Structure 1
C-alpha cells in the first residue's frame, strides 16, 4: 500500500482518492434533496441549490489557484480545506446569516462547504493519521504536506465522458436554479438593512 500518494493497490490496479467538482456537489445535493422532499414534500428551491453549488466548490476555488497557479500555498488542500480556518469562518457566516433572518441559508452554505472537505478527506476514516493529506486538515496547527502533482493539467479529465458528466450535472443544477427563480412569485434578491 502506497499511503503517501493516497493510493492503494487492489487487484493490481491503483485506486485514487479523488472527488471531482460534480462529486462534491452531489455529495451535498443528494442528502439535501432527500431531506427537503421528506420534510416538505418538494424539491429544494433554486436559490438554495445555487448556494449549495457555490459552497461545494469554494474550497477548491480558493486553494487550487493559490497553490497551482500562483504558488502561494504548497498544497491545493490547505487554507480553505483546513478545519482550523474554515470552522471559525463558517460559524461567523451562520451567526451573521441567522442575525439577518437567513439562518437556513447559512446552514446550507456551511453544510455544503463542509461536505466538500469531507469528500476530500474521507480516506482518513480508513487510514487515520497515515493519510498523506491528514496534516492539511489541521493547518496551521500541523505543517501541511505539499501536492505531488501541483497543476490543473495533472487533474484534468482524461476522457470525453469524464468531462461531460460534470458539465451535465452543473448544467442541470444551474438551469433548475434559474428556472425556479424565474418562475417564483417571490422576490429573490436579498436586501440587507443597514443599521
Structure 2
C-alpha cells in the first residue's frame, strides 16, 4: 500500500472507533499520532532494506507482530512523559493497522495472503528486487499507475475509492483535525 492509503485506512478505523466508543472525534494531536503510526513500519523497514541494506526485505522489524509490543511500549513511554497517553493509543492503533492493510491489499490485488510480512525474525518474504529507495519507489509507482490506467474497475480500485470517500467524510465530520487547528491559529495571529 502507498503511504496515503495507509494513512486513510488507519484514520478511518481510528475515527470510527473513537466516535463509536467514546463519542468524541480525534483531536489534532491524535490525528498526527495516527499519521505517524500508520507510516512507522514503512519508515523503519523500507530505508533499512532499500537504502542501507541492513535487512533483506522491506517487511521486517516495523511490520513484525513480535516487535510491535516493544514499539508500542516505546510510544507509550514517550506519550506518558508528555502527559497524554491517548496519543500512544492512537499511534498503536495506526501502527497495528499498517500490516493488516498490507495483508488486505494483497487480497484486493488477487494475491494470496503472505503472513511472512508480519513474522520477522522467524520468517520474512524474499527481497522483491535489487536497487535503492528511488529504484523501488519508481518501480512500484509505475506499476501502481499502470494498474489504475489499464486495470479497469478492480476490487483494489473500488476499495481505494471508497476509502478515499470515507476518509474525507469522516475527517470533515470530525471537524477537519489539524487543518482546523492551523486555520484557527492563523486567524488568531491576524487578530493580534
TM-score range with shorter-chain normalisation? 0.5 to 0.7
Residue of structure 1 equivalent to 2:181: 180
1:102 Cα deviation after fit: 1.5
1:27 Cα deviation after fit: 1.4
Q: What are structure 1's unaligned runs of at least 5 residues?
A: 1-18, 185-195
Structure number having the greater strand percentage: 1
Residue of structure 1 equivalent to 2:122: 141
1:87-126 aligned at under 5 Å gives the runs: 87-95=69-77, 97-98=79-80, 101-122=83-104
Counterpart contact for 1:46–1:181, Cα < 8 Å: no
| CA–CA separation in structure 2 for the residues paired with 1:146 and 1:46 | 38
- Flag the 1:86–1:27 CA change in 2: closer, same or farther, 3 A: same
Residue of structure 1 equivalent to 2:145: 158
TM-score, L = length of structure 2 = 0.64
TM-score, L = length of structure 1 = 0.63
Counterpart contact for 1:136–1:145, Cα < 8 Å: yes
1:81 Cα deviation after fit: 0.8
- Flag the 1:99–1:138 CA change in 2: closer, same or farther, 3 A: same
Structure number having the greater helix percentage: 2
Q: What are structure 2's unaligned runs of at least 5 residues?
A: 131-135, 150-160, 162-166, 186-192
- Flag the 1:121–1:87 CA change in 2: closer, same or farther, 3 A: farther
Residue of structure 2 equivalent to 1:57: 39
Counterpart contact for 1:63–1:75, Cα < 8 Å: yes
| CA–CA separation in structure 1 for the residues paired with 2:127 and 2:53 | 11
After the TM superposition, which of the residue ranges 59-68 and 108-117 deviates more from structure 2? 59-68
| CA–CA separation in structure 1 for the residues paired with 2:128 and 2:117 | 14
Counterpart contact for 1:82–1:137, Cα < 8 Å: yes
| CA–CA separation in structure 1 for the residues paired with 2:82 and 2:138 | 42
